[in-house]
Amino acid sequence: MLLCPVSPGHFYWLEPEHAFHSLQPYDTGRIALTFLQGSFDYAGWNFLNYVTEENLPRAIFISIPLVTFVYVFANIAYVTAMSPQELMASMFLFIRVNGSLFTSQPLFFAGAREGHLPHLLAMIHVNRCTPIPALLFTVMYINYVGFINYLFYGVTVAGQIVLRTRTRPTSVSSAWPVILLIFWAFLLIFSLYSEPVVCGISLAIMLSGVPLYLFGVYWENKPKSFNSFVAKLTHFGQKLFMLVYPSEGREDGNEDKEEAG
């Protein structure tokens, strides 16, 4: 893919005077947003923790370098054939959300099964077995998850520093968590300065989880009228998207096979 456009000499956009030409004036906040959005493309290292059941070290050592190599050279190939404006308007950018959709929707799906989210999110399509409500819920907030993700990355890295002083210290050098913590702090502070509306909505969505948890999960003795309304809303969603609980789908499938046999 890379050699085809480069071999005839199509490297106009790879030349330094063109590759680093900015369409907007340089600003510290925009530079931070660039790092934040660029690191979102390489967030697969975090997704491995959700989709891998075993051989996690092997998956990390093999998949991350391989995907990074392929992704970088694929981007170089696209840049040799398209300008930055054409690349931003292309369908290629939809690949960015694939990893988030693949890993985030099982979290909502599992949370709904445990009763921490509406039961509708724990249902799947009756024929395709796709968790449609969980996917739609993820797509609705995909624009606001980046800031919150890296906020929790920073909290996780800070936790490693704290663990160094506890009874079960980590074996990782303290220098790496400190460097990463400074880097995440730089990104988050200047992103909040540059895009206060988007970051503010992200923080509001995150903080809304506290009252929603108290109201939806912690408060057990809800009025019958409220439970009836939720049941009707869930039933409407089932009809709209043709949804069933996973156990119901498997049982119905087994019954159909027995009747066919």
Q: Region 221-249: what's the mean pLDDT?
A: 83
pLDDT digits (tens, 9 = 90+) for 103-125: 667 777 778 888 778 888 888 88
pLDDT digits (tens, 9 = 90+) for 122-151: 888 888 877 888 777 777 676 677 778 778
More confident residue, 21 or 231: 231
Q: Region 191-205: what's the mean pLDDT?
A: 82
Whole-number pLDDT of residue 237: 86
- Residue spans of alpha helices (H) in 82-195: 84-88, 96-113, 132-140, 145-163, 175-194
Asked if 210 and 203 touch (Cβ cutoff 8 Å), the reply is no
Q: What is the Cα–Cα distance from 139 to 101, expressed in whole angstroms?
A: 7
Whole-number pLDDT of residue 157: 84
Q: Region 35-42: what's the mean pLDDT?
A: 70
Q: Which two tokens stand for residue 112?
A: 């709904």
Q: Which two tokens stand for residue 256?
A: 């159909």
Averaged pLDDT score across all residues of the chain: 74
This prediction has a pTM of 0.62
Q: What is the Cα–Cα distance from 237 to 233, expressed in whole angstroms?
A: 6
